[in-house]
Amino acid sequence: MQFPDRIAGFVAGKTYTENLTGMSGSRVLMYDEYVLKIEKTRHEDLETIAVMRWLEGRIPVPVIAVYAEEDGFSYTLMSRVQGRMACDEYYLERPDELTTLLAEALHMLWNVDTAGCPRERSIDVELAEAKYRVERHLVDMDNVEPETFGPGGFRDPEELLAWLYDHRPSYEPVLSHGDFCLPNIYLDNGGISGFIDLGDTGIGDKWRDIALCYRSLKHNAEGVYGGRIYPDTDPMLLFKKLQIEPDWEKIRFYLLMDELF
């Protein structure tokens, strides 16, 4: 495989495995010390790099060694986060420990002072991006929850978008991961070892992360990913550990908005 010269200087001759977990559409190559993420160049890539560098020292995130663009692709070489994904069977078999750590990870994000954060992911920003995707028919209809569209659901993405505009909730800004799913949270030695896939991280609503975490926990427990069911992993434990009552209207809003991304 050919890499830009700046990338090749770090990884030439080194062996790797490919991480196929997740649905980002990127290629992720795992080396002993590094992770190399390869994807089609997007206008927001440099903003993501700025956010990741801003986060260094604030929360555990990969440290960027090199970023390069070549022939329409971006290459981000970063340090490899140690530990296991939160969706590892070790944690799914230990729901009390898992939900304690997920709550800790959320609080870690919310406790960051967002002054100077390079990216804003407010409700208006999210809706504008969703509108852009809907108008250009970019919504992946093969990657939505079965009940979202069709009988008992929305007619099409246009109707869902209109509903979202009519039902936007109050805004509770914090540092939001933006894709707080179990594969993006790494755990090790009883703590949070790292957050990965930070392409949507910025100042955003706390309930977006709660909603995506709840759904990810629920789907993993129900065997949606991998087929194994974990009957003792109750996603409602998340709210107990967060010491908050679930706001189902906000959770529904953010889960439905995520269907357009």
Known catalytic residues are: 179
Q: Cα(247)–Cα(255) distance, rounded to whole angstroms?
A: 12
Is residue 249 exposed (0-12), middle (13-18) or buried (19+ Cβ within 10 Å)?
exposed
DSSP state, residue 63: P
Measuring CA to CA, which residue among 25, 23, 42, 31 is closest to residue 3? 31
CB 187 within 8 A of CB 91: yes
Sheet holding 202-205, edge to edge: 120-121, 202-205, 173-176
Q: Cα(107)–Cα(205) distance, rounded to whole angstroms?
A: 13
